[in-house]
Amino acid sequence: MSSVRYCLALFVVCQGVLAISAEYDFAGEYAKITQLQSSQEFAFEKRDDVPAGYVASPYYPTPKGGWVSSWSAAYAKAEKVVGNMTLSEKVNMTTGTGFLMGPCVGNTGSAPRFGIPNLCLQDSALGIAATDNITAFPAGITTGATFSKSLMYARGDALSQEARGKGVNIQLGPTIGPIGRQPRGGRNWEGFGADPSLQGFGGSETIKGMQANGVIATVKHWVANEQEQYRMDIVPHGTMKALSANIDDRTLHELYAWPFMDAIKVGVGAVMTSYNDVNGSAASQNSKLINGILKDEFGFQGLVMSDWLSHIGGVSAALSGLDMSMPGDGAIPFLGLSYWASDLSKSILNGTVPLERLNDMATRIVATWFQFGQDKDYPLPNFSANTADREGPCYPAALISPTCAVNQYVNVQGDHASIARQVSREAITLLKNDNKTLPLSSSATLKVFGSDAQTNPDGPNACNQRNCNKGVLGMGWGSGTANYPYMDAPIDAIKRRASAVTYYSSDSFPGGLMATAGDIAIVFISSDSGENQHTVEGNNGDRSASGLYAWHNGDALVKSAAAKYATVIVVVHTVGPILVEEWADLPSVKSIVFAHLPGQEAGNSLTDILFGDYSPSGHLPYSIPKKENDYPASVSLKGFQFFQVQDTFSEGLYIDYRYLNKHSIAPRYAFGTGLSYTTFSYSALILTSNIPLSALPPARAPKGSTPIYTSAIPAAAEVAWPSNFPRIWRYLYPYIDNPSAITATGKYNYPAGYSTTPKPDPPSGGDEGGNPALWDIMFTLSVTVINTGSVAGKEVVMVFLQHPSDSPYDTPVIQLRNFEKTETLVPGGNQVLSIGVTRRDLSVWDTVQQNWVIPVSATQPFLFWIGNGSGNLTVACESLSGVCEGGRVKPVA
């Protein structure tokens, strides 16, 4: 009960937790939960209703880390440390200290004897969450729309300079799943777009940038967290289990796991599991996903953490490959209970979890810390995610806590506003521009409509985790947000640029307006979504109430303006696709501008484009369909089902443009669409074959060696409470009251398929990211892009792959595989772009061979389509002849 009272007292910080559990009687369940948690594990529960054919196959034991050469120096250092660690020190590495038990959203235990502090884990993927003096960068979806690898990198680099400056060891981003399978999915905007290659480049460039500053990046959420509602177990477990994403093996590899391979290939330090189940087994303890795919096939060397409060079993999660429990608590925070901490100590002492598994968990965490040089001159946290005050409780959830100096208000912004502005600007996607209405003259008479043009009148950070859609929509809501240091609102920027501006901030069209010929209306509309702990205007995270329509009657506002004004420009701030059919073809709607989610630089980045200082160069990172049911029912939101919501990915590989193309459904705006103020042409297109094709990659090398430790169960005294220990109530410790009394009570009921004998090396593995040959550049396309228009601009060249027509594998007709963006080209200017296509790009995942296979054909070529959007493909190169030519029939509707 006390925790409930405590939560009510600390309502702001606790409301997320209460919301998570809003569907049951929190207070009434307290006793039951405490009892359950201290007495048993919710491991290996019976699974309900997973459709026939979907199985959570067991994969044991966890492959140990350390066999990859690029990590060997860090593992050698970690081996010396972990080899000298006591049981309590090892357990400390693995378990968070508890929700609100330290300055950051997650804090690990420490090992002072080795100079390892409590590591600070902090959201988010677009800025350092819940603190001050930072930059609120544009969201992932905005970054994806730039189609600029260098900006993806630059944003990651700037983000981690800020993380490091605040003392964050492990930054919780980038998000590369959800991918956007469900157009209404709440968190699609945190990622880079509805395509695995775009998501893969977005994620891996961000990671490279982040980790260049010694910050450990965390890719999330592994895997298939595509819908927000029902994503979590509702405790007590078994009453309502988290949604089960049921996915076949090929779809998992080619769509959802694909960007994670890219992340691992570039050496990401941490992976966060998702809340949902996959094939009926929770992602935080799914042995096939963590042990099998992530750590064996993909050769992941870093640490795997749970998403917050998704840890649901002690022994089960350890055996399945989880390395770090975050924030450490059991099913309910603030009780001082954990599935790990002292319970992990017990499961080692009673012989149930093999010591070598704990050694590997600790080694992976310590090696990751060494890998990024955090043993040298890394700042401690100098901020608190729990309060904005200078001083506050060091451990807010402890009730009685010592006071700490928590916030130093370190300004970490540097010159990052300019990077944020550039990303937002280069993301702006022009979808319609009749009669060259844009760019505007600064002497135009502008009538601006819609509340989305102005700063939230209550202040840009008035809503906790941005859980309202009021004022300009710069980011969605939830843990993937950050506080705005300021909001540069569009209306302010427009007023700075133009002299004759009138603003109508209502979302209802004002009555009695008289339009004068020549007036130009700019209408701002938005569509929001976020994380499931908040419901905003009836949307429970996903766009469950609004659907794909603009919020606040945006369609009516546009239509009213279009009825009055001859020239209307529509600016859209959105988390994803919206339906524009009610007005896109209206003759007075001359221009449509998708500005995505621009973060703090919403104003200047937009006026940079509206007034023609820069040509637009953003492209849609998803398709905009004409109607929502152009997509199959399987990608709509799943409603309530008894026991467990089953979300079966029966559409397989066919999401977004892959589905529309398969069914010859013309979208309103195709994936990749984006206009410019100038025009471009391509010349000197050359395809070079670097390596002859073979169906299978060359055989992998066997794994290298991993650290070797003694496997004898340590002395129980290693987890006894140190004498005179200043124990903090409810804090999570590795210690046990009477450790020598711990004995095995009977035989542990291990899961089916459990084994301690390592599996043979999977043929598709061999290095970080899988078999290194998967990353061989098999073909290179070179193209000269020429600016044939009259103003400067940047062009994006995308490569869409079409498989040989005699391929035995049912494969989407075209798939994006790579892209490059030019520098700014002046009129007449040109640049040669060189774009590689890897073995993996050409391959399908063969479920029988369990390997990546190129459908090589003696007679039918691969086609490499080149263009600035999936709807504009008329130029292609053929793999067999090497011939490149234009004037071809478009491969898709």
Q: Which residues sit at the interface with ligand NAG, rule CB under 6 A? A: 41, 53-57, 80, 83-84, 88-89, 92, 97, 109-112, 118, 132-133, 165, 167, 247-249, 278-279, 288-289, 314-315, 343, 346-347, 350, 352, 379-380, 382, 388, 408-411, 434-435, 485, 670, 673-676, 679-680, 744-746, 748, 795, 867-869, 871-872
All residues at 6 or more sequence positions from 548 whose CB lies less than 8 Å from its CB, including other chains: 183, 184, 527, 576, 577, 578, 579, 628
Q: Is 74 helix (H, G, I), strand (E, B) or coil?
A: helix
Cα-Cα end-to-end distance for the chain? 60
Residue 815: exposure state from Cβ atoms within 10 A (0-12, 13-18, ≥19): buried
219 pairs with which residues across the strands? 271
Closest CA to 660 of 638, 637, 636, 628: 628
d(CA 146, CA 202): 10
527 pairs with which residues across the strands? 574
Are 211 and 267 spatial neighbours (Cβ–Cβ below 8 Å)? yes
Measured at the CA of 135, the angle between CA 132 and CA 138, to 5 degrees, comes to: 135
What are the phi and psi torsion angles at 570 (to 5°)? -105, 125
Helices (H) and strands (E) in the chain, counts: 20, 28
Are 120 and 270 spatial neighbours (Cβ–Cβ below 8 Å)? no
Q: Is 607 helix (H, G, I), strand (E, B) or coil?
A: helix
Q: Is 164 helix (H, G, I), strand (E, B) or coil?
A: helix
Q: Is 692 helix (H, G, I), strand (E, B) or coil?
A: coil
The DSSP secondary-structure symbol of 238 reads: T
Taken in order 267, 268, 269, 275, is the CA torsion positive or negative? negative
Tokens 């100038």 label which residue?
678
Q: Is 357 helix (H, G, I), strand (E, B) or coil?
A: helix
d(CA 143, CA 527): 18
Tell me the two tokens of residue 40: 């048993």
Tell how strand 391-393 and strand 277-278 pair up. unpaired
Are 317 and 325 spatial neighbours (Cβ–Cβ below 8 Å)? yes
d(CA 644, CA 41): 19
Are 659 and 631 spatial neighbours (Cβ–Cβ below 8 Å)? yes
Closest CA to 155 of 144, 170, 166: 144
Residue 429: which H helix or E strand, with range? strand 429-433
Closest-approach residue to ligand NAG (CB): 83
Q: What is the DSSP string of 791-855?
A: S-B--EEEEEEE--TT-SS---S-EEEEEEE---B-TT-EEEEEEEEEHHHH-EEETTTTEEE--
Are 147 and 136 spatial neighbours (Cβ–Cβ below 8 Å)? no
Tokens 């369990």 label which residue?
850
Tell me the two tokens of residue 168: 């964050």
Are 824 and 743 spatial neighbours (Cβ–Cβ below 8 Å)? no
HEC profile of 626-683:
CCHHHCCHHHCCCCCCCCEEEEECCCCCCCHHHHHHHCCCCCCECCCCCECCCCEEEE
The DSSP secondary-structure symbol of 70 reads: G
d(CA 666, CA 686): 30
Tokens 């009825």 label which residue?
563
Least CB distance from residue 812 to ligand NAG, whole Å? Answer: 18
Closest CA to 104 of 215, 233, 219, 208: 215
What are the phi and psi torsion angles at 212 (to 5°)? -60, -25
Would you name the residues annotated as active-site residues? 307
